[in-house]
């Protein structure tokens, strides 16, 4: 199937059928497209506006070229944002992942270096001396032993490396900026995904709804434009359960969490980001950041613990965050 027809359809701002989009991305990852064709394909999708089925097709093709290691021994969760919100905020998703593991849930954190925060998940995990795992048996062993593993995205997705120059030269956000949270090689059953733009909520939620591996998930857009639930105001969420979407909002006031200014959630540099992370994991740190972690941790717990409502889960999250990690010698 030639890429030319796809490029023509995109130039007319027509959506691609999932199979056509899938073939286009297969050609892209297999280096069958010239740099000009690859750039035109990505630019055409971005200019038109990507659909959830085009996003699903891109993920399918990327996973075909990835080092997969699916986990089938029960529920596991990933927590991450798409990045790109430009807020230089505290890396909340990594703190939430570590607290979830400390509370007994299996967590597979799939991440990279910093994108929109001062300190990416890989930077934090490295500073805590948690290994970047690559061996399938070791991944499963550590997951069963500690409830937490970190998978460094570039190792598991080598096909992306040859596209970095094209993306850099394009200089605009593309579908690749949204794919990261959907490419966890362990294929988690539960996910909490944050997006920095409200318009991306339905796109990501519908893509998750098309993923048969997903049992329970939520896509969030935080007040003040964060890709996390924030204590700055009312956040928007879309729950995904068995392929069905439910729209809702989360108001911190309903959980006795005071409103904070958005500037209280940022870190000026990597050094401060790591210091704050260690403080949070020990039950200390800035109140605004503690409250952000509590809201997101509570939301993640509500996905995993179906017998408890969000109010109960946020209360449990408060207690755990205020106490810090029980196994602090392992993580902090």
pLDDT for residue 332: 47
How far is Cα 117 from Cα 113, in angstroms, rounded to an integer?
9
Model confidence at 97: pLDDT above 70 = yes
Q: Which of 36, 64, 92 is the last residue of a domain?
A: 64
Residue 252 within any structural domain of the chain: yes
User: What CATH number is attached to the domain comprising 261?
Assistant: 3.40.1030.10
Helix count and strand count (H, E) for the chain:
15, 7
* Contacts of range 239-242, beta carbons closer than 8 Å, 24 or more positions apart: 240/205, 240/208, 240/209, 240/214, 240/216, 241/215, 241/216, 241/217, 242/215
pLDDT band at 62 (very low <50, low <70, confident <90, very high): very high
Structural domain including 199 reads 77-153+167-331
pTM of the model: 0.94
Pairing of strands 190-194, 148-152: unpaired
| Number of compact structural domains in the chain | 2
Average model confidence (pLDDT) for the chain? 93
Indicate whether 16 and 126 sit together in one domain: no
Indicate whether 106 and 48 sit together in one domain: no
Indicate whether 265 and 138 sit together in one domain: yes
Identify the weakest region by mean pLDDT among 40-44, 186-190, 304-308: 304-308
Residue 71 within any structural domain of the chain: no
How far is Cα 221 from Cα 49, in angstroms, rounded to an integer?
19
Indicate whether 54 and 99 sit together in one domain: no
Indicate whether 97 and 225 sit together in one domain: yes
Model confidence at 114: pLDDT above 80 = no
Residue 198 within any structural domain of the chain: yes
132-182: pLDDT as tens digits: 999 999 999 999 999 999 999 999 999 999 898 998 898 888 899 899 999
**Contact (Cβ atoms closer than 8 angstroms) between residue 41 and residue 7:** yes
How far is Cα 137 from Cα 279, in angstroms, rounded to an integer?
32
């Amino acid at each position: 199937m030639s890429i030319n027809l796809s490029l023509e359809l995109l130039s007319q701002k027509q959506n691609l059928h999932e199979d056509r989009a899938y073939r286009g991305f297969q050609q892209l990852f297999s280096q069958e497209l010239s740099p000009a064709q690859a750039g035109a394909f990505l630019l055409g999708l971005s200019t038109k506006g990507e659909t959830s089925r085009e996003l699903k097709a891109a993920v399918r093709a990327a996973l075909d070229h990835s080092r997969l290691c699916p986990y089938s021994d029960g529920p596991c969760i990933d927590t991450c944002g798409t990045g790109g919100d430009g807020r230089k905020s505290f890396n909340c998703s990594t703190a939430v992942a570590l607290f979830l593991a400390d509370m007994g849930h299996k967590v597979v954190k799939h991440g990279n270096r910093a994108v929109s925060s001062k300190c990416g998940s890989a930077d934090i995990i490295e500073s805590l001396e948690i290994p970047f795992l690559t061996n399938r048996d070791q991944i499963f062993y550590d997951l069963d032993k500690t409830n937490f593993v970190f998978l460094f995205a570039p190792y598991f997705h080598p096909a992306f490396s040859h596209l970095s120059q094209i993306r850099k030269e394009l200089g605009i956000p593309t579908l690749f900026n949204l794919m990261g949270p959907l490419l966890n090689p362990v294929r988690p059953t539960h996910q909490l995904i944050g997006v920095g733009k409200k318009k991306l909520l339905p796109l990501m939620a519908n893509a998750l709804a098309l993923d048969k591996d997903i049992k329970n998930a939520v896509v969030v857009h935080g007040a003040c434009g964060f890709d996390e639930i924030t204590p700055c105001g009312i956040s928007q969420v879309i729950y995904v359960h068995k392929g069905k979407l439910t729209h809702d909002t989360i108001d911190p006031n309903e959980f006795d969490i005071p409103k904070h200014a958005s500037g209280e959630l940022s870190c000026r540099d990597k050094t401060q980001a790591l210091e704050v992370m260690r403080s949070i994991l020990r039950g200390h740190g800035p109140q605004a950041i503690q409250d952000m972690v509590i809201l997101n941790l509570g939301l993640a717990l509500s996905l995993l613990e179906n017998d408890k409502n969000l109010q109960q889960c946020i209360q449990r999250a408060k207690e755990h965050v205020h106490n810090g990690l029980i196994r602090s010698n392992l993580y902090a």
